[in-house]
């Protein structure tokens, strides 16, 4: 058997490979968008400085968060960095493993992976996560691109597990 034959993938393996690649590309895009936005904020605004995009509705406000969402675990940067690193490693595996379940899982996990990697970078590089999106119309905590991707990916993943065919099978014990 030739090398080409041994390296060829079955149609199902090719599908999973391309879906997983799509998930990794989504993660890379989220990570790069998050980094670009944060670099701009770091070079343009002092901590606490703000300017309106739509006055009273949306502002760009430079904030550093040493905790997790909504200020929980404030000051636990090292613990959160370790937790994030473990999550990123697990997500790299899950993107490939669950890509067999469909494109939605690849997309959702890619969003979560990119967001987790973006915030992990901040914790390692700056000792805190750089937040800047300030939605004042609803008095929501300041967040960033990575947080938005984590939230959207998590909601999509939850919906897939609750309402998707594979998710329903998992709940019924048919997995």
The closest alpha carbon to 115, from 40, 58, 33, 47, belongs to 33
**Catalytically annotated residues:** 131, 147
Rg, Å, the chain Cα set: 19
For residues 14 and 7, what is the distance between their CA atoms, to the nearest angstrom?
11
22: buried, middle or exposed (CB in 10 Å: 19+, 13-18, 0-12)? middle
For residues 175 and 161, what is the distance between their CA atoms, to the nearest angstrom?
12
For residues 135 and 63, what is the distance between their CA atoms, to the nearest angstrom?
13
């Amino acid at each position: 058997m030739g090398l080409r034959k041994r390296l060829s993938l079955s149609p199902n393996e090719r599908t999973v490979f391309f879906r997983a690649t799509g998930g990794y590309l989504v993660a890379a895009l989220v990570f790069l968008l998050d980094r670009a936005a944060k670099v701009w904020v770091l070079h343009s605004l002092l901590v606490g400085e703000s300017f309106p995009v739509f006055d009273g509705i949306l502002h760009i406000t430079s904030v550093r968060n040493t905790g997790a969402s909504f200020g929980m675990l404030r000051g636990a940067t090292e613990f959160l960095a370790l937790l994030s690193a473990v999550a990123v490693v697990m997500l790299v595996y899950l993107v490939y493993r669950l890509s067999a379940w469909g494109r939605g899982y690849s997309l959702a996990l890619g969003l979560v992976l990119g967001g987790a990697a973006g915030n992990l970078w901040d914790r390692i590089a700056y000792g805190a996560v750089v937040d800047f999106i300030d939605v004042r119309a609803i008095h929501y905590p300041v967040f960033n691109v990575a947080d938005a991707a984590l939230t959207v990916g998590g909601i999509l993943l939850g919906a897939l597990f609750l309402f998707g065919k594979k998710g329903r099978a998992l709940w019924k014990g048919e997995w």
